[in-house]
Chains A and B, each alone.
Chain A
Amino acid sequence: MKRHLFAVVLGGLTLASCSSDDDAITPDPEIEVPANYTFERNNNSTVSYSGQTTRLEMTSEILSNFNDFDNSSEEMLKNMFANENNPFSEASLNESSKSVKSKVAASNLYFSTNSVESNEIRNDFEYFISTQMNEVKTNRNEVAEAGVAGQIADGDAIRYVNAQGLEMNQAFAKSLIGALLVDQMLNNYLSQPVLDEGDNRLNNEAGITEEGKSYTTMEHKWDEAYGYLYGDPSIPANDPNSVLNESDDRLLFNYLGRVDADEDFEGIAEETYEAFKTGRAAIVAGDYDLRDEQANIIRENISKVIAIRAVHYLQGGKAEIENGDFGAAFHELSEGFGFIYSLRFTHNPETGAPYLSKATIDTYKDQLLDGNGFWEVSPETLDTISEEIANAFGFSVSEA
């Protein structure tokens, strides 16, 4: 980028109207940001994110079968994860060429030259499945104790945990929020290499749409990011925040709502939605600097949601441990573990990397699950991890 700026300066000094794409771009006052996420070309909607909805539906079905020990099997859940052998109840999902697994840890920015780690991450999800359907399933009618998988009471609810006290369904779901949704949104579809791939800018400016579609490729990429957050079928397309904290979504949109409901972070849902709309309008207007500014707002907010929930659950777990309620504590810590897992996929706009390093995040996971795991993790450890996460993301532990 340095050379690029150099060229701009020279161009500016000697010859004002030189290169078309080097012009200093100021936000165009003409850009109209619609009230809702509604964009049209020749009276046809240009918004499409059905592929994201499909993956969210697949995820829902995996999760709804995860604790059904009588009817589910390791093979069935793994088939659902990879969409092989017609595992879903909906024919449309079976017929889809898409799968959850193929987009786990698959972003352009973080994993295109890192398929070794990507593969390890996918294996982690298969490990959650196989542990659930072997170790946990075998012991589902035993009382869990330190080092022994089984069930443990949490008020009226029954939690099924592995030998370390970790609930596999929580680990799977909350880790997937990062590895699939956050990674695809922040590090793939909102990233410059994807938005600007090939002739995307030229085609976008010339209004050249994809074959048989009403959208340009760049418009569609942006919508695909949008779809991972707002694509659950229970969320109305035109006004998602109208069902904030009321939709059937159990993944990212749900937790955006929870964070927004905390007065310390009130407004984060509205700001994120505005950024999606403004960025999409900026694409229509060909204002890519404005687009990228909005992408960074989204990256910061979504990353923060992950971190805030991680700290929230660690603190909740700590409080329950201090109460002596291990069942409640393990449920909180299991969710917390998943959000910590998801930190790997956050995106700090200032560095273009996660807010915390992979090594640091791996250390947290080890500290939580070391030895007998949640049975013996200390409140001090939970506090230290909470502080470090909160510091890295610029909020305080008490706010979460």
Chain B
Amino acid sequence: MKRISGILMIMLLSITACSTDDSGNGSGGTDTDAFDRGAMLAHWADNIIVPAFEAFEVSSQSLENATTAFVNDPSATTLSALRNQYRDSYVQFQTVSMFEIGKAEEIGFRRFLNTYPTNASAIESRVESGSYNLELSSSYVEQGFPAMDYLLYGLGNSEETLQKFTSGENAENYRNYLLDVAERINSLTAEVATAWQGDYRDQFVQNTSSSATGSVDRFSNDYVMYFEKFLRSGKIGYPAGAFTGTPSPENAEAVYAGDLSKELYLTALEAFQDFYLGRGFNGSGTGPSYKQYLEYLDSMKDGADLNALIQNQFDAIEDQSAQLDGNFKSQVQTNNTAMLAAFDELQKAVVLLKVDMMQALSISVDYVDSDGD
């Protein structure tokens, strides 16, 4: 059941026939308001999504370059440079991970780049045999950033790692595998960026319908699902054991690098929040956004301004994160209560976004997260 704000209801009554708010069956959308969805979509695409992918593409190219430099001349210097580039690129990836729509969705971009925990023993046997196909969906757990994490930080200290890539058994295979993983991150990224620079941008922006197949409806579902499943559950909930009651430190993101997990979390959180507010990716001011849309609709929840509730909750999440260690693996091992508290704050935002915001925007939620029996 959708709640329609009183004002919106009056508008509807005075202008047209009623909206059926359950446009989820694609029976042709009826615009429920005059908010300029096209302008919002254009701002999203031109000032946030495309620049974010372009920046990440530069970063993933640098990652491939640093990997090439390392495998051509493995040394303490090239390893250190590669590790730094890996960290930078993994952080940068957090600014595009939520945009799993269009080409990214089609090719399973996020699955290939960031399925974790990675499968270290599978990687080892791939390296040993030298035989693998990273295009298979069954190889999600053998590539992407989590695989690089293992290869750069999971094989031992710097010296031991270097030894694996130089004089150790299968050193050449390690070098090949690492480079293949880096190249694949870069080529998948280029594919998505190119799609946005090409026809997909117009396709996305012009699909202003408010039906379930319209860009706003579809993107919003992806955006909110990202927050729930990847930001809340993936980065915090699974390692904290929020669903099982037993912490799983090995489920932390960037578990081998260790001290990177909180930075990844905070970057993702900030990118998500900036998108909500409509902040341009390159700091170029703000434009039409969820925030503006909710303000335009004058959306309320229990007598309070919905946008203010959402922004306050983002603040509460950020405030809470001050209690978190830079390394989520050790966080859940030493004080899991702080991780669970983070989960609780994130879940409060899930309710505001998935239930209240989606209802206010008359968007049908097309996924469920129930785990019944």
Task: Mark A residues whose CB is within 8 Å of B.
Answer: 2-4, 6-7, 10-11, 14-15, 18-21, 49-52, 54-55, 82, 98-99, 101-102, 104, 112-116, 118-119, 122, 189, 193-194, 196-199, 201-202, 217, 220-221, 224, 227
Contact = CB atoms under 8 A, between A and B. Distances in A.
A196 B1 contact: yes
Nearest to B24: A199
Contact of A7 (B6, B242, B370): B6
Interface in B3-28: 3-6, 9-10, 13, 18, 20-22, 24-25
Contacts of B240: 115
Contacts of A50: 373
Interface in B315-367: 336-337, 340-341, 343-345, 347-348, 351, 355, 364-367
Interface residues of B, number: 42
Interface of B: 1-6, 9-10, 13, 18, 20-22, 24-25, 240, 242-246, 300, 303, 336-337, 340-341, 343-345, 347-348, 351, 355, 364-368, 370, 372-373
A4 B20 CA distance: 15
- 9 closest A-B pairs (Cβ-Cβ)? A51-B373, A198-B368, A18-B18, A122-B245, A7-B9, A115-B340, A113-B347, A6-B6, A116-B340
Nearest to A189: B372
B5 A3 contact: yes
B6 A10 contact: yes
Nearest to B368: A198
Main secondary structure of the interface of B (DSSP, over half): loop
A115 B345 CA distance: 10
B1 A115 contact: no
Nearest to A83: B244
A3 B6 contact: yes
Contacts of B243: 102
A116 B10 contact: no
Contact of A82 (B22, B246, B351, B370): B246
25 contacts: A2-B303, A10-B6, A11-B13, A11-B18, A18-B18, A20-B20, A21-B2, A21-B21, A49-B373, A55-B373, A82-B244, A101-B246, A102-B243, A104-B245, A119-B245, A119-B340, A194-B370, A196-B1, A198-B367, A198-B368, A199-B366, A202-B25, A217-B370, A221-B372, A224-B372
A115 B18 contact: no
A318 B54 CA distance: 74
Contact of B343 (A18, A54, A82, A115): A115
A50 B5 CA distance: 41
Contacts of B344: 113-116
Contacts of B5: 3
A99 to B, nearest CB: 7
A7 B372 CA distance: 34
A112 B344 CA distance: 7
Contact of A201 (B1, B246, B351, B368): B1
Given A7-B6, A19-B21, A202-B24, A115 B13 contact: no
B373 A202 contact: no
A52 B372 CA distance: 10
Given A10-B6, A116-B340, A199 B18 contact: no
Nearest to B13: A14
A19 B300 CA distance: 20
A115 B4 contact: no
Nearest to A126: B245
Given A113-B347, A198-B368, A201-B1, A10 B10 contact: yes
A4 B301 CA distance: 11
Contacts of B370: 194, 197, 217
Contacts of B6: 3, 6-7, 10
Contacts of A18: 13, 18
B373 A54 contact: yes
A307 to B, nearest CB: 27
Contacts of A201: 1
Given A11-B13, A101-B245, A113-B344, A119 B336 contact: yes
A54 B364 CA distance: 34
A112 B351 CA distance: 10
B300 A3 contact: yes
A52 B300 contact: no
A221 B240 CA distance: 27
Given A10-B10, A51-B373, A217-B368, 15 more contacts: A2-B303, A3-B300, A6-B6, A7-B3, A11-B9, A19-B4, A101-B246, A113-B345, A113-B348, A113-B351, A116-B344, A198-B365, A199-B24, A224-B372, A224-B373
